[in-house]
Amino acid sequence: MQTATAPTAAPVRHPSVLDQADLDSLLATCRRALDRARATQRTVLASWARPLTVTDPLAIWSRARRSTPRSFLWQSAWDRGSVVAIGTARDLRGRGETRMASVRETWAELSRNPVTGGTTATTPLPGADGPLAIGGFAFSPDSTPETRRLPDALLWVPSLQLRSALPEPGVADRAHPAELRLNAVLMHDSDPEQLAESLAQLADRCLRTAGPPRRQPSAPAARTHTSVELPGADDWKGLVRRATGRIRDGVFEKLVLARELRVTASTPFDVPATVGRLREANPGTTVFAIDHEEYTFLGATPEYLVRVDDRTVHALGLAGTAPRGATPEEDEALERELVASPKIQHEHDVVVQMLRNAFHDSCADVEIQTPPRVVKLTNVQHLSTDVRGRLAPGSEAGVLDFVELLHPTPALGGHPRQESLSWLSDNEGFDRGWYAGVVGWAAPAGEGQFAVAIRSALLDGSSASLFAGCGLVADSDPEAEYAETCAKLRPMMSALGIE
């Protein structure tokens, strides 16, 4: 684990975000945390909050991310909640097969009894109260972590956390309630004055200027690029044939095979502009962006893995894909084929049954939406089924318990899990990294939201890795499956300007 604080500098004499009463309260919170750290000889999480109003969280993140190598943007399609996080108060890391359990246990210990101060938001915000652990997990643990561009597992407590409820579409420029939260982790020899001062400066740098008015995302700058498919198209189609042969042999029932498009552009990608175009072009998706050192992992995903709020657990079975039609009539015809296809219905049912079975251990009641609905996105349409459970009395299961239990679902890896994952490890031919992993946030009391990290890309200056996959069953056609991955890649290619 790593302990870090916001950078220090000269004292803030006239902060535009925190007034003197705020500064006094923040310092008092840090001092109380120090007293507890000394008394217990343990690290203590201090979390101070105050309400404010914001307009566009994306604009705040775009400006604030320049001050830190670690940032997080989250705009949820499920409850219209938004999180902007800057800097790091404490890393929560894990490696190998126990990576999720390690992160969960460290977060439970750190967040068990934080020292809090300030004033919480008067308007209820989506999700939970308090400091958050944010970040994500790779699709699978890596046996060669030195070559992995993002860690196996990384959640972190941000130094600055800004949460808000997004306004309804069409009124994004209107100010709306938000909560600013400043977090620090203190040890017995920490300097509370220095920590409070550093946090106040961070808030001032990130929030003191309103920035330019929000604009519609411009078209991507003209650029040239080269691209390489991993595996190559013919090799990937050959993998589809091999996988479907193994399915017919009874080795597994379903397999999700992915591929990577690695792009090198003539100029660096504009990350905030790319996120803005993703948001505008993909309504109904959850937009996320994670800066970690030189990399940015971003996406606009239609699928959440799990949400927990008010002791209700939500999961989404999203499996089965068809293209969108060029006309309303063609689109409706493709939708009818999607709903009527025995192959797609089987692929979808495998996912839904796994989710239902996973809920039964912790939930007293489990409800499954029937029949599946059709979710229409920019380039594709999916079958989707909501699964909801109510935590049983006495159950202490939280969102990270369900992340560990559910990931990867058959919609990400295959079914049965172990057989399909083993085949992918031996045959897929590239490291998925955080693609098809999970990203999101967890709160101290067990609430939280984690999305399936699909429709995503990993950026590094002028380089980008784009990912797409599809579910295979016994009668899957290699040409059709390849075309499906091309359709899934198109929104990210458009946002990056590499079509």
Residues acting as catalytic residues: 254, 303
The dihedrals phi and psi of 260, each to the nearest 5 degrees, come to -120, 140
For 377-398, b/e burial (b = at least 16 CB within 10 A) is bbbbbbbbbbbbbbbeeebebb
Q: How far apart are CA 231 and CA 429, in angstroms?
A: 6
The terminus-to-terminus CA distance of the chain in angstroms comes to 41
- d(Cα 141, Cα 143) in Å, to the nearest integer? 7
* Backbone CA torsion sign across 412, 418, 422, 425: positive
Distance CA 91, CA 238 (A): 42
CA angle 51, 57, 63 (to 5 degrees): 110
CA distances to 132, 197, 372 from 30, rounded to whole Å, are: 18, 10, 50
Helices 99-110 and 399-406 pack at an angle, to 10 degrees, of 180
Residue 410 phi, psi dihedral angles, 5° rounding: -60, -20
Dig out the tokens for 260 from the structure. Answer: 């990577």
Residue 213 phi/psi, 5-degree rounding, is -55, 145
Burial (CB count <10 Å: 0-12, 13-18, 19+), residue 179: buried
Compute, in degrees rounded to 10, the torsion defined by CA atoms 50, 113, 135, 98: 180
CB 221 within 8 A of CB 497: yes
Encoded tokens for 320: 């089965």
Query: Which one-letter DSSP state was computed for residue 446?
Result: S
Q: Are 415 and 350 in contact (CB under 8 A)?
A: yes
8 A C-beta contact, residue 292 and residue 150: yes
